[in-house]
A and B are shown apart, each in its own frame.
Chain A
């Protein structure tokens, strides 16, 4: 059974088309990830599903109804830290519980239950200003876990979190996932998208590829990716490495480059020699397993996230 059906969805900001005739079906209890770079339209799409924005044309149905008619079953987690830092964690959850219509006693009961669920019992009475980024995100996640929410939309929930906090966050998501809840994750991070049961890659307002993470990686028919970390990044090194990329696609990374090639790892010594003969130093080199970010790059020729200068 489909919990969300989107047909021919169009959204424009002025003359710019942000969502371009998009069609998407998401099944009940599915964990679906919309992955794409900033500006690809994924946040706009998620905010239309969450009834925050209104489309120019097309339809969005959640269990057969418009999003604005089923707000009581949608839990939306915005990207920003929206909790009140001058209140305690518990006071924040009480606020959202009562905004959802719970009476004081019921709210207190539900909030205590949520605090246990997200493992925040010890810190529930501390002010949010004393929380770490991970704790705060966990608290905000709890605001969408109130009983009755059947569709959860998480917009870039791990932005700004360290790897450990990110792991904890998805551990918590895994707990929720076991129930009959549909989860929509918005992300530009490949490792986050790997947690989903199905991923839609979004570029320029369209879904350009869709499938399980494994299907997407297998479908691009890529044998090998060589990750090269160099002491510096410049046009000359780029030119040398491009010579080894049969696909003529070389992706710049935070610390160097990724070479997409169908050749085996035997090419690695040749790369090292070519770079060093030109007076540059390789810090690290090795073959890596393709990720969803690589799939996106292979399909669009563009990185899913900006690299550090």
Chain B
């Protein structure tokens, strides 16, 4: 537990003291939340506006955890490797799986802190949700899966790309581009056919649609079909597992 706890504490402090991470994970989605509410939703009928604000809030929550999982993790891994921390840790009686869990827990916690802040802002701006207690728990489950899938991408970028800037920019690129083309920023119905298919397979956008469906009753398609739920669970876990395997292989292997 000591190694998990030590890595977790270091990870969470690193994220909370990193102005760039705070901006991209918290401030940037909130800025878009304001833009969405005050610019893009002007023509929505009064009866739907609360749920539309709710959907934008969920989208910004998804974008936030994507940036947090992908970029923050890629940045910390890449920086730690660059400055020789892994050399130091490899010489110590440290178990890689404990260190990995500590890192993932830190990202999970940082994402949850960001999600709570964005949710509070969304509610303050008039976001409405309609859900049962079971729907809420299911949403939280898919939120965690989305964070783990993002963390998988972050682990891959941080482990495979040697340059710190390269790892960060690649992770940011993946997060921004895939958000734009998978229905996180736009309504699913606005996407062309091929991107609608991509949106169902890309675990982060799929989790976003499932959460939107559970909490607002609309995701543009039946996101809670057995097939869609199963695909999201399986692909999220595959992303996370591949990330962990690559991280252990490239950052912890003795040469």
Q: Which residues of A contact B (CB under 8 A)?
A: 47, 50-54, 71-72, 74-76, 78-82, 84, 86-87, 91, 94-103, 107, 143, 153
Contacts and interface: CB of A to CB of B under 8 A. Distances in A.
A224 to B, nearest CB: 42
Interface stretch (B13-21, B23-31, B65-73, B193-201): B13-21
A80 B84 contact: yes
17 contacts: A51-B90, A51-B254, A52-B255, A74-B91, A76-B88, A78-B87, A79-B84, A82-B83, A82-B85, A82-B87, A86-B17, A87-B14, A91-B10, A97-B6, A99-B89, A101-B2, A102-B2
Interface in B71-129: 83-85, 87-94, 99
Contact of B88 (A94, A101, A102, A143): A143
B9 interface: yes
Nearest to A87: B13
A121 B248 CA distance: 37
Contacts of A100: 92-93
Given A84-B14, A87-B13, A99-B92, A52 B6 contact: no
B91 A94 contact: no
Contacts of A86: 13-14, 17-18
Given A71-B91, A76-B88, A95-B10, A52 B254 contact: yes
Chain A at the B interface: SS class = loop
Contacts, number: 82
Contacts of B255: 52-54
A81 B17 CA distance: 19
A74 to B, nearest CB: 6
B224 interface: no
A98 B3 contact: yes
A95 B84 CA distance: 15
- Of A54, A72, A98, most B-chain CB atoms within 10 Å: A98
A167 B239 CA distance: 51
Given A78-B84, A107-B2, 17 more contacts: A51-B90, A54-B254, A72-B93, A78-B87, A80-B83, A80-B84, A82-B84, A86-B14, A86-B18, A91-B10, A95-B9, A97-B6, A98-B3, A99-B3, A99-B7, A101-B93, A143-B88
Contacts of B14: 84, 86-87
A75 B88 CA distance: 9
A169 to B, nearest CB: 18
Nearest to B102: A99
B5 interface: yes
A96 B216 CA distance: 46
Contacts of A53: 254-255
Nearest to A146: B92
Nearest to B76: A84
B79 to A, nearest CB: 9
Nearest to B6: A98
Given A52-B90, A86-B18, A99-B94, A94 B13 contact: no
Nearest to A106: B2
A24 to B, nearest CB: 19
A5 to B, nearest CB: 19
Contact of B83 (A54, A71, A81, A94): A81
A161 B10 CA distance: 27
A84 B10 contact: yes
B85 A99 contact: no
Nearest to A79: B84
A71 B92 contact: yes
Interface string B201-242: 000000000000000000000000000000000000000000
